Structure 1
Amino acid sequence: MIRTFTKYYLFLVCLGISTGVLPHNLHAQSLGTIQGNIQSPNGEPLANINVALQNTSLGSSTNDQGSFTISNIPAGNYTLVATSIGYTARKQNVSVKAGETTQLNLQLNESAQQLKEIEVSGQADRYKVDVPSPTLRIKTPLLEVPQNIQVINREILQDQQIFDMLEGVSRNISGVTKLEHWDNYARLNMRGSRIAPFRNGMNVQSSWGPLAEDMSMVERIEFVKGPAGFMMANGEPSGFYNVVTKKPTGITKGEATLTVGSFDTYRATTDLDGKLSEDGRLLYRLNLMGQTKGSHRPYEYNNRYTVAPVLKYQIDERTSITAEYTYQYAQTGPIGSAYVFSANGYADLPLDFTIAEPNMDPSTVHDHSSFLILEHQLSENWQLTGQVAYFNYEASGSSFWAGGVNEAGDLQRTVSIWDALNVGKFGQFFVNGEVQTGGIKHRILGGLDLGSKRYIADWNQTVNLNGSVPFNIYNPVHSVPMDSLPQFDRSRSLRQRAGGNILSQSYSGVYVQDELHFWEDRLRLTLAGRITSSTDNQYGSETDETKFTPRAGLSVSIDPQTSVYALYDQAFVPQSGVDVNGTAFDPITGNNIEAGLKKDWFDGRWNSTLAVYQITKNNVLVNDPDNINFSTQLGQTQTMGAEVDVRGEVLPGLTLVWNYAFTNSEITEDTEEANIGNPVPGFAKHLTNGWLNYRFSNVLEGFGLSLGYQWQVDRTTWSWAGSTGQEALPDYFRLDGSLSWQSEKFNVALNVNNILNEYLYSGSAYSSYYYWQTEPPRNFRLSLGYKF
């Protein structure tokens, strides 16, 4: 009774906050510019002064004449902060108006000691982001973009103590579900299908890998819902998420954090940011992480470390080059050991049940990635960006699965070798600019995308771990002798062992987008098109496809803080293979129709987005009813839904992330008429999440309280061929909270997850049995941080 009341109470509280009409000031939504000069007390220009807008990621630095420019600023009121070693910091309130340039002249006094660093973030707006990262290429404020784009910033990740993409990231975005995973590989679904992982604007999706990003190196995560021709076309029309890594800011600062927690969790991170040259042209950022972490299941662990250095060199006031490298290492037990199997339905085994063995060799992953980015300001209104990236992922280990289990609980544990290599090469070149034709302003984006991915794996060697003695799930005995453990043959190269287990893709895309602004920016019409060519090879079957995908969007400002939008966009998904007659399959085509309402409240302190959409996917493969070993291309699915997202400071000291999504995804065409109307696997029809954070002032200044929940209703499972049962997954409810205290330099946080100690899991029917993965019971994380 208490748990049920808690669910509905939290839901209603967040719903009331998100829909209440609260007093607010008008907040302009178009862009403005700040230009200025900084001088010493005797009138000499000061070069290499860092200039930033507090509570945003916008900033610049002064040139040799002491001048600076900050462009593409959403209209509103800001605090500008000017800092440099050897000078006393200066703060200045400034108002930015739409379409105008604000002029500032500042003076900095010399300081006898090095500056005490000013943190460029504050309590207000700490969960709200107004502009997309440069890696999304578009220069339009999120309030004006004709699409639902939601951003998880670093403050949310820190408050929730999220370690990597496998944890609570999905709770912060409407309609996103995390499906079962294989240890270090994240799979997120949204709007009826899997969404592609991007990093810094590069589509890095592969069958397995790259390794799920550790949050120590992440600045923000951007969820783009629906197709987006300015980023991709050859992917699922449900959208993608873009992980943006930390870059140098030019401000000398550092932070170290130590964390301990349940299941023998020990973690340390360091974030260093600053200058490597006195003239401020060579900047650096270095993030380090080390972690050892156990599990609520015996014999499971996840030991990781990350090294992520970044260098940025400002060649001149118009041109910069950035080099970034990331190395991630992970060591776990056999992949898939988190799965539990039973012929008698879900959750009939203890929460800590495991099929793993204590003496099996670990699985290891070495993940390398590197970026080289060149940015050049062609003129005041035009910028050229080019970047190349290389990804190399190597895995060596084994994986668990079930060869079968009966009602008495006798389980056949199979262990397969799992060695893999994943290589990705990417290149992007794009230009942003603005031109005026009569009374119409054009915001232009155009560019070229190139990419090549190749994945090879050996999972061909499989052994039965049980031998002649059955492993009974109701009376488990973990005692496999060392000489009975699998001994895999790695004498040949991985390429030789992989055989036909090769998946590759190469693609190229050319796109152009024109955002036309009418009636003093009250109406914006987006017209775009993209031509994408893709060559896909899956297990020896190759297809070549070229597709044109159009995009049209309309955004209208009802008032300076409210906009409505409509969007039509397309995507396509290449498909390999042939039907029984040898005819190659056409690609899946996806159409997205979307409309929404966006609003800033309380002078932009918090924002709400309401979106409705319909996605139709054609040419979906279905089983050939006359030839069970083949597929045929007569399928169609349709996903419809509505989403609400709220984030920001809704009351003084009270910040909120709240969302709700209704999703209905079903089969609309199939060779088997009985399948029409069946749900598409992998979504929850009703999904709502909330996270409330209150930071005290006055007497309890520095103390904070947080409470959050995840609630999934009417969950669907996978639909595997040959499954004899489809027992429904139960509803899912999880309650989390935290206590914290922070001062200028120190912060302490205690997070408790799954406060109600629920038995939480996800899974599916498979063949004649069920499988599922459990989440941890009630657990804690305690962190101590120091800023310097």
Structure 2
Amino acid sequence: MQRYTALLLAGLFLLGGPVWAQQGTGTIKGHITTNDDRSAAWVTVLLKGTKRTVSSDEQGNFIIKNVKAGTYQLEASLIGYESSTKEVTVEENKTVTISIPLSVSNRELQEVIVRSSKGVYNAKQGSASLRLNEPLLEAPQNIQVVTSANLADQQVISMSDGVIRNISGAVRLEHWGDMYTNIHMRGSQIQAFRNGFNVVSSFWGPLTEDMSIVDHIEFVKGPAGFMLANGDPSGMYNVVTKKPTGQSKGEASLTVGSYDLYRAALDLDGKLSKDGKLLYRLNLAAQNKKSFRDFEYNNRYTFAPVISYQVDEKTKITAEYVLQNARMSDVGSFYVFNPNGYAALPRNTTFLQPGLEPTKINDHSFSVNVQHDLNEDWKLTAQAAYYNYQQKGTSMWPGAVNPDGKVIRSVGLWDAKSEMTLAQVFVNGKLQTGSVQHRILGGLDMGNKQYFADWSQSHALDSVGAEFDPLNPNYGTPVNGFPVWDRSLSLEARSRNAGGDINQRYTGIYVSDELGFFDNTVRLTLAGRYTYVSQSNFGGAAEEAKRVTPRIGLSVNLDRNTTVYGLYDEAFLPQAGHTRDNSKIRPITGGNIEFGIKRDWFNGRWNTTASIYRIIKNNELTADPTNGSNENYSVVIGQKKAEGFELDIRGTLIKNLNIVANYAYTDGKFTEVAPGTIYKVGQVVPGFSRHTVNSWVNYKLSNGPLKGLGISGGFTWLLDRATAEWSEKPFSQDLPDYFKLDAGLFYEKDRIKLSLNVFNVLDKYLYTGSYYDWLSAFYWQAEAPRTVRFGINYKF
């Protein structure tokens, strides 16, 4: 690490010398207004004769620094309107202020912004919660955004519903249906964030977000502790919820589909005061959903109000509440077991016993965000959140699998509760030292997380001699009757008695300085984070850990639309577990080395990102493969290394043709193994596909008698799939390659959109799975056969 630091500091000295010597520059400050004298946001400003462009902010202001003395033409442009040009003269060591009128009303401006955002698959900027004070093109890291247009065109209704097809290298294993998302990327399960908060309190959470509350989703590949909370070395995803926009608008949607899917959603966005200072956003959704397997269901409703208040020109407060309620069948029913190999049973086979109590979940969250502009260059943000998750239900798991395929089904109690109190404060700013520009980020991140679970009670539905036969199932009253649970004690007491509690407190302090040289075409990032954590796992004593993790990045503009970058970053992540020998659980540590190239094509209509990386991950826990049905012991793996290549393409290739396409090669291996584990040095890391390929294309006719009619479609192709991690010995059957084809039609006219999508068009038997040694059986989770989803959206 010292070697990397020395080399980059030497580079800084070499780069800084000639830059600091530059003389004869000035600054242009400007304000853009509409012809009804209102500020014009997000207008592109070009300094003609140079390659320099900026965009006006929400208040219509822009600034261009380090401009050589002379006379220039400034051009302000907005898609769909004529450009406005104004002459400006820059003097040495002085700031010139200019106002540019744009021939468009505020109403027309809002309409064109909304219109230009429709159908866009490539984002230029990250959300405020990502804390990047720069365009994504300039960030020295691979960051991909799944936009609202992506989600709408693909008829995604929950976080687990095909989102990952939009991200290179992302796969799902052990997904528990639509209960938890559990995304793997770059060789490990990545962390789940919402609006900049790490919302993971246990291995199994959080509950999948309903898309009615989601604006877009940001995937950060590699460590991100410098700008967010604790995270995995492989990366994280950040769900950004919908906020008030200041426009009075709404959208209602109805969706119906195969297997009794009925869903309605309403999105209202508007003003609560005439002056536009008090705004609101309200999202409502409800669905009934069954399955291709008998007796399964997943019914949910969502209630999410948001209020924002612009206190003055500098201060804005936003308060948000989200309730997600789920009522679903036993969450273990997605698993099927058989000793004869994968897919040895019909796709719709279920072990689920009708009559079991449902699993009920109430997921509450409340957050407050305060943003304050200290001045035109510095901004302070403070936010706090409280999350409360309550679950009451069960999970099926076989007590035994016989050689003839018959099983003894066992139902385990799974009551759980999670409480998280989280707080963050950070400052973003810009300053100038000589000819060097600085983008500064610094902040404090704190959290207190508690998780309680009672899985101590179980009940066998079947008995020896009266096993359940999946080839000749009998779903009548089970021979041992239905379970009766003892809930006389509080969940907290039951959890402590069962060793099912996790407690974590952490504090993180971080600072980052991105130094810009040669008119900010060369950017060097120097950052670091100090993290302190106190954590107790599954009834064990509290353990403390602390660490400083550095970050060094370099990003260089080859031209106005192309950047190359290099990055070294480290991660530090506490983890929960309980070993059989009660040995100390150490946090996950890891490092990422990454290089990449990003390019915006044809004035930013579409972009590409290509990256190569190497991630080292230490001390990761995994479930003990010798666990019985009611055991939750963990083992330390040792060290893993993941290397790979990723390519993402997204945007509008030609008019009305939007595309998302990606490819990833992932090579993960164990480089060190702890004594007593089931792994060997050089063995492939479980739970990924060596090759993943995804695509989605959307095309709409804009002329002729079929104007408004469109077609869409895409595929997911997974090759050389590694199984999950429960087998101690090699076995004869690997997971086969996976290919899923989806297609759809849509029609848009005025405010109405009709959508029809067909998923798994080829009706393939698709699944993930592995082998359990202690059951001497294969298990798999099958995906749905060919399904149809039809939606009606009305905007008002």
Distance in 2 separating the partners of 1:759 and 1:242? 31
Matched, 1:157 2:160: no
TM-score, scaled to structure 1: 0.87
Distance in 2 separating the partners of 1:622 and 1:738? 40
Matched, 1:784 2:789: no
Distance in 2 separating the partners of 1:270 and 1:293? 18
Asked whether the equivalents of residues 220 and 236 of structure 2 are also in contact (C-alpha less than 8 Å), the reply is yes
Distance in 2 separating the partners of 1:296 and 1:632? 36
- Cα distance change on mapping 1:249 and 1:60 into 2, 3 Å: farther
- 1:368 is aligned to 364
Distance in 2 separating the partners of 1:351 and 1:32? 66
- 2:7 is aligned to none
Matched, 1:772 2:772: no
- 2:545 is aligned to 545
Q: Aligned to 2:138, what secondary structure does the other structure show?
A: coil
Asked whether the equivalents of residues 196 and 228 of structure 2 are also in contact (C-alpha less than 8 Å), the reply is no
Matched, 1:261 2:253: no
- 2:181 is aligned to 186
Matched, 1:665 2:665: no
Asked whether the equivalents of residues 537 and 578 of structure 2 are also in contact (C-alpha less than 8 Å), the reply is no
Q: Which amino acid aligns with 1:709?
A: F
Asked whether the equivalents of residues 543 and 574 of structure 1 are also in contact (C-alpha less than 8 Å), the reply is no
Q: Aligned to 2:164, what secondary structure does the other structure show?
A: helix
C-alpha distance after superposition, 1:16-54 (max 9, x if no partner): xxxxxxxxxxxxxxx9986234565xxxx66xx785669
Deviation at 1:195, TM superposition (A): 0.4
Deviation at 1:231, TM superposition (A): 3.0
1:199-598 paired onto structure 2 within 5 Å: 199-207=194-202, 208-232=204-228, 234-467=230-463, 469-480=466-477, 484-498=481-495, 499=497, 500-541=499-540, 542-575=542-575, 584-598=584-598
Asked whether the equivalents of residues 761 and 775 of structure 1 are also in contact (C-alpha less than 8 Å), the reply is yes
Deviation at 1:358, TM superposition (A): 2.3
Greater mean deviation of Cα atoms: 759-768 or 663-672: 663-672
Greater mean deviation of Cα atoms: 482-491 or 212-221: 482-491
- 2:609 is aligned to 609
Deviation at 1:116, TM superposition (A): 11
- 1:6 is aligned to none
Deviation at 1:573, TM superposition (A): 2.9
Deviation at 1:670, TM superposition (A): 2.2
Deviation at 1:618, TM superposition (A): 2.9
- 2:680 is aligned to 675
Distance in 2 separating the partners of 1:620 and 1:116? 49
Greater mean deviation of Cα atoms: 696-705 or 755-764: 696-705
Q: Which amino acid aligns with 1:705?
A: I
Distance in 2 separating the partners of 1:453 and 1:100? 51
Deviation at 1:227, TM superposition (A): 0.5
Q: 2:754 aligns with which of 743, 748, 752?
A: 748
Q: Aligned to 2:233, what secondary structure does the other structure show?
A: coil
- Cα distance change on mapping 1:581 and 1:782 into 2, 3 Å: closer
Q: Which amino acid aligns with 1:781?
A: R
Q: Aligned to 1:146, what secondary structure does the other structure show?
A: coil
Q: Aligned to 1:477, what secondary structure does the other structure show?
A: coil
Q: Which amino acid aligns with 2:791?
A: S
Distance in 1 separating the partners of 2:216 and 2:251? 17
Asked whether the equivalents of residues 184 and 688 of structure 2 are also in contact (C-alpha less than 8 Å), the reply is yes
Greater mean deviation of Cα atoms: 101-110 or 272-281: 101-110
- 1:21 is aligned to none
- 1:20 is aligned to none
Distance in 2 separating the partners of 1:340 and 1:624? 20
Q: Aligned to 2:137, what secondary structure does the other structure show?
A: coil
Deviation at 1:105, TM superposition (A): 2.6
Distance in 1 separating the partners of 2:116 and 2:476? 55
Asked whether the equivalents of residues 76 and 100 of structure 2 are also in contact (C-alpha less than 8 Å), the reply is no
Q: Aligned to 1:471, what secondary structure does the other structure show?
A: coil
- Cα distance change on mapping 1:387 and 1:474 into 2, 3 Å: same
Deviation at 1:744, TM superposition (A): 2.1
Distance in 2 separating the partners of 1:33 and 1:220? 32
- Cα distance change on mapping 1:92 and 1:327 into 2, 3 Å: farther
- 1:690 is aligned to 695
Deviation at 1:436, TM superposition (A): 0.3
Distance in 2 separating the partners of 1:285 and 1:623? 42
Matched, 1:763 2:795: no
Q: Aligned to 1:206, what secondary structure does the other structure show?
A: coil
Distance in 1 separating the partners of 2:58 and 2:620? 52
Higher relative contact order (CA 8 A, sep 6+): 1
Distance in 2 separating the partners of 1:326 and 1:744? 31
- 2:740 is aligned to 734
Asked whether the equivalents of residues 233 and 549 of structure 1 are also in contact (C-alpha less than 8 Å), the reply is no
Q: Which runs of 5+ in 2 are unaligned?
A: 1-26, 45-54, 66-73, 89-94, 626-630
Asked whether the equivalents of residues 503 and 538 of structure 1 are also in contact (C-alpha less than 8 Å), the reply is yes
Q: Aligned to 2:139, what secondary structure does the other structure show?
A: coil
Q: Which runs of 5+ in 1 are unaligned?
A: 1-30, 63-67, 82-90
Q: 1:130 aligns with which of 124, 146, 164?
A: 124
Asked whether the equivalents of residues 233 and 591 of structure 2 are also in contact (C-alpha less than 8 Å), the reply is yes
- Cα distance change on mapping 1:494 and 1:603 into 2, 3 Å: same
- Cα distance change on mapping 1:102 and 1:365 into 2, 3 Å: farther
Deviation at 1:587, TM superposition (A): 3.0
- 2:720 is aligned to 714
- 1:641 is aligned to 644
Asked whether the equivalents of residues 248 and 310 of structure 1 are also in contact (C-alpha less than 8 Å), the reply is yes
C-alpha distance after superposition, 1:393-423 (max 9, x if no partner): 0011111111111121211100011111011
Deviation at 1:359, TM superposition (A): 1.8
Asked whether the equivalents of residues 132 and 142 of structure 1 are also in contact (C-alpha less than 8 Å), the reply is yes
Deviation at 1:725, TM superposition (A): 3.8
Q: Aligned to 2:114, what secondary structure does the other structure show?
A: coil
Asked whether the equivalents of residues 229 and 445 of structure 2 are also in contact (C-alpha less than 8 Å), the reply is no
Q: Aligned to 1:143, what secondary structure does the other structure show?
A: helix
- Cα distance change on mapping 1:463 and 1:110 into 2, 3 Å: closer
- 2:61 is aligned to 69
C-alpha distance after superposition, 1:482-528 (max 9, x if no partner): 99111112222111221221011111100000000000111000000
Asked whether the equivalents of residues 196 and 229 of structure 2 are also in contact (C-alpha less than 8 Å), the reply is no
- 1:85 is aligned to none
Greater mean deviation of Cα atoms: 232-241 or 592-601: 232-241
Q: Which amino acid aligns with 2:136?
A: L
- 1:11 is aligned to none
Distance in 2 separating the partners of 1:72 and 1:458? 59
Identity, % of aligned positions: 48
Q: Aligned to 1:336, what secondary structure does the other structure show?
A: helix
Asked whether the equivalents of residues 727 and 765 of structure 1 are also in contact (C-alpha less than 8 Å), the reply is no
Q: Aligned to 1:484, what secondary structure does the other structure show?
A: coil
What is the root-mean-square deviation in Å for CA atoms of aligned residues? 3.2
Distance in 2 separating the partners of 1:307 and 1:578? 37
- Cα distance change on mapping 1:76 and 1:338 into 2, 3 Å: farther
Deviation at 1:756, TM superposition (A): 0.3
Q: Which amino acid aligns with 1:567?
A: L
- Cα distance change on mapping 1:100 and 1:182 into 2, 3 Å: farther
Distance in 1 separating the partners of 2:64 and 2:221? 23
Q: Aligned to 2:351, what secondary structure does the other structure show?
A: coil
Deviation at 1:727, TM superposition (A): 2.7
- Cα distance change on mapping 1:101 and 1:759 into 2, 3 Å: farther
- Cα distance change on mapping 1:356 and 1:101 into 2, 3 Å: farther
Deviation at 1:574, TM superposition (A): 3.0
Distance in 2 separating the partners of 1:570 and 1:246? 31
TM-score, scaled to structure 2: 0.86
Distance in 2 separating the partners of 1:72 and 1:313? 30
